[in-house]
Amino acid sequence: MARRPSVHIVGLCIVGLCIGVTGILGAQGTVRGQVRLIERAGATPAALGDVVITLDGESGPLRAPAWLQKASVGMRLREFEPRVQIVGVGGSVAYPNQDPFSHNVFSNSSLGAFDLGLYRSGKTRAATFNAPGVYAVYCNIHARMVNYVVAVRTPYVTRARADGSFAIEDVPAGTWTMRVWHERAAEHVETIRVIPEGVTLTLALDARGYVAKSHRNKFGQAYSATRADRY
């Protein structure tokens, strides 16, 4: 009997703590939606899973969480896998060479060019991405190898699912700048308002202007047709 009051006090303290924490965190909602690409008639359909949706705060940059600071993109069968990789600004992407021959990894992006050099099967080198934005990453030997790194300074980021649906959970209520990117379309930028009840969006990216064209090698020249390593 004598202990009962103290149990009540503990209970009140826990309730008070919860109210306090909720007050600090504020209300949150889920941003969900459906994205599609409007493509030219006859175009090979693009992978909707390569669409990246990012929410940037109006009051300045947020901090990307630890789980976005390290990523890995394999090089296998002369392809980068995955083709699109999200990383936090300041974070790094490792490029393990899983092919039985050498690959190079480079980017001539104005956001931060790099060249990891040529390296053999089983070796891994990593690049760091210090500015937000989309970096096109290539191999100097195999022209068909293409990787896009989307560097973000927010934890509120996701790729769309294969069917184009997406969800970003626990977004603090308020105004956000939403960026929707796919390699075939101009970036879609929209201001959205998140409320605790959540937001549902339907988006269409216009990819009708997309033309598949070859990129240059790391020297700014066309890839040669010879089989020799051009390094």
Chain residues binding Cu ion by CB under 5 A are: 103, 139, 141-142
Name which of 160, 189, 174, 185 is nearest 84 in CA terms. Answer: 160
Least Å from the CB of residue 77 to Cu ion:
10
Cβ-contact 88, 152 below 8 angstroms? yes
Least Å from the CB of residue 44 to Cu ion:
23
| Nearest CB to Cu ion, comparing residues 67 and 231 | 231
Instruction: Please give the Cα distance from 85 to 71 (Å, whole number).
Output: 8
Pair of tokens at residue 103: 């690959």
| Nearest CB to Cu ion, comparing residues 175 and 224 | 224
C-alpha 25: how far from chain center: 25
Cβ-contact 51, 219 below 8 angstroms? no
Please give the full DSSP string across 95-134, using - where no structure is assigned.
Answer: EEB-SSS-EEEEE--TT--EEEEEE-TT-EEEEEE-SSEE
Instruction: Please give the Cα distance from 39 to 138 (Å, whole number).
Output: 25
Least Å from the CB of residue 130 to Cu ion:
24
Least Å from the CB of residue 118 to Cu ion:
9
Residue with the shortest CB distance to Cu ion: 139
Q: Sort strands 114-119 and 79-81 into parallel, antiparallel or unpaired.
A: unpaired
Least Å from the CB of residue 103 to Cu ion:
4
| Nearest CB to Cu ion, comparing residues 39 and 115 | 115
Give yes or no for a cis peptide into 196 (omega within 30° of 0).
no
| Nearest CB to Cu ion, comparing residues 32 and 230 | 230
| Nearest CB to Cu ion, comparing residues 141 and 150 | 141
| Nearest CB to Cu ion, comparing residues 141 and 160 | 141
Phi then psi dihedrals of residue 15, to 5 deg:
-60, -45
Least Å from the CB of residue 135 to Cu ion:
17
